[in-house]
Amino acid sequence: MFKKILLLSLILSSSTLHAKDNIVIYHAYGNTHQIVIQGRMVKKKPFKVANKEDGWFKNLWRKIREIEGNELKNQTIYASITHEKFKTKGDDEGYFEFHITTQKALKTGYAKVYIHIEKNANIHESNVTIIDSQPLIGIISDFDDTIIVSDVTHKIQFAQNTLFKNYKQRKVVPTMLERFQKILAQNPKDTPSTLFILTGSPQQLFIPIENFLTYHHFPKRTLILKKIHGDHKDPISDQFAYKTQKIEQLIKLYPNIKWIMFGDSGQKDPQIYKAIQEKHPNSTINYYIRDVESGEIKEYNKL
């Protein structure tokens, strides 16, 4: 029973927390001509703000409430950016995805995108991170046990962290904030953030993960999560295939960025990053792996 609750919570939780205008937009990103926007159409549901003093039962009850189905199915949705309009259709779980090619080149920085559901007057405004072709240093980082202490390899502790604690009660991995800040400081000050957090956590956990990163003052970032519902799902159990595919998409989208990668020893990060470094030696600088047992973070340079 406990395993079933954990599975349901991971698969179906959180996407509606503080949803505005019936749309949750995950971080949108791209270069001067290509943009990726993902999100979900949901029915708005109110949640009380999480507090550090909340007990385990309140946290669990919040998770259970988040499981309730509330998606807007098979709706047509529009995105407008720099006076160009695009449309797509959400799936039977409410998820939508735009892969946009603009006619007019976008300026590097944070462009405004406006999204609305067909026959719905509510317009949701968000930012798209636009990075041009200038040479920069970028970060690709895992989340669980790399940025946040999750204890994924210990099932009981992992379940307790996931179900019985809110984002204000979770622990950050020491030194990670400082490492990210130091690396990003090497880029010109007027460039948008090149921090990409790539996690195997499902898209339903976007808001609690984003809240955790904001609460601990992490730099601006693009958060990429796994799509495990609806059409065009990511590989659910094959972490190697999922992360490799996403990293190679970033390398193709940003050919002039040199990447530093962060992960942990709990899953497939060492093998994934080694394979990426061997296949794309000109696009990677090095990678770091945190040992989940000792907490030690080790650097791996090019051969």
- pLDDT 10s digits, 6-21: 444 433 333 333 334 5
**pTM flag (> 0.75):** yes
Is residue 196 within 8 A of residue 205, CB to CB? The reply is no
In single-letter form, the type of residue at position 132 comes to D
Of the candidates 243, 164, 251, which has an alpha carbon nearest to the alpha carbon of residue 199? 243
Q: Average pLDDT in the 189-208 region?
A: 92
**Per-residue model confidence (pLDDT) at position 12:** 37
Using pLDDT thresholds of 50, 70 and 90, give the confidence band for residue 223: very high
Specify whether the backbone of 73 is left (phi greater than 0), alpha (psi in -120 to 50) or beta: beta
Using pLDDT thresholds of 50, 70 and 90, give the confidence band for residue 237: confident
CA 290 – CA 148 distance, rounded (Å): 12
Per-residue pLDDT at 233 exceeds 60:
yes
Q: Tell me the CA distances in angstroms from 14 to 89, 155, 197, 208, 210, one per residue in order.
A: 22, 21, 18, 7, 11
**Per-residue model confidence (pLDDT) at position 4:** 44
Per-residue pLDDT at 214 exceeds 90:
yes
Could you give the angle at the alpha carbon of 44 between the alpha carbons of 40 and 48, nearest 5°? Answer: 115
**Per-residue model confidence (pLDDT) at position 302:** 67
CA 269 – CA 240 distance, rounded (Å): 8
Domain 136-301 sits in which CATH superfamily?
HAD superfamily/HAD-like (3.40.50.1000)
Per-residue pLDDT at 85 exceeds 70:
yes
Per-residue pLDDT at 236 exceeds 80:
no
Q: Average pLDDT in the 132-159 region?
A: 91
**Per-residue model confidence (pLDDT) at position 154:** 78
Give the highest mean pLDDT range of 22-26, 54-58, 79-83, 232-236.
Answer: 79-83
Mean of the per-residue pLDDT values of the chain? 87
- Coil vs helix vs strand at 278: helix
Of 63 and 253, the structure prediction assigns the larger pLDDT to: 253
Give, as one character, the DSSP assignment of residue 56: H
Of 222 and 82, the structure prediction assigns the larger pLDDT to: 222
Per-residue pLDDT at 218 exceeds 50:
yes
Of the candidates 217, 197, 218, 216, which has an alpha carbon nearest to the alpha carbon of residue 206? 197
Structure tokens at 21: 């205008």
CA 188 – CA 193 distance, rounded (Å): 10
**DSSP run (H or E) holding 245:** helix 239-253
Of the candidates 62, 66, 20, which has an alpha carbon nearest to the alpha carbon of residue 40? 20
Per-residue pLDDT at 47 exceeds 80:
no
- pLDDT over 70, % of the chain: 89
Q: Average pLDDT in the 93-110 region?
A: 93
Name every residue whose Cβ is closer than 8 Å to that of residue 210 and which is 6 or more positions away in sequence: 223
- Given this structure, which CATH class describes domain 2-130? mainly beta
Is residue 42 within 8 A of residue 16, CB to CB? The reply is yes
53-74 b/e (C-beta count within 10 Å ≥ 16 → b):
ebeeeebeebbeebeeebbbee
Q: What is the pLDDT of residues 170-197, one digit of tens each?
A: 999 999 999 999 999 999 999 999 999 9
Using pLDDT thresholds of 50, 70 and 90, give the confidence band for residue 3: very low
Residue 113 pairs with which residues in a beta bridge? 126
Q: Can you give the residue ranges of every domain in the chain?
A: 2-130, 136-301
Q: Helix, strand, coil % (nearest 5) of the chain?
A: 25, 30, 40
**Per-residue model confidence (pLDDT) at position 19:** 37
**Per-residue model confidence (pLDDT) at position 155:** 80
**Per-residue model confidence (pLDDT) at position 15:** 34
- Residue 2 CB coordination number (10 Å): 10
**Per-residue model confidence (pLDDT) at position 283:** 96
Q: Average pLDDT in the 120-148 region?
A: 94
Using pLDDT thresholds of 50, 70 and 90, give the confidence band for residue 161: confident
As a whole number of Å, the end-to-end CA separation of the chain is: 47
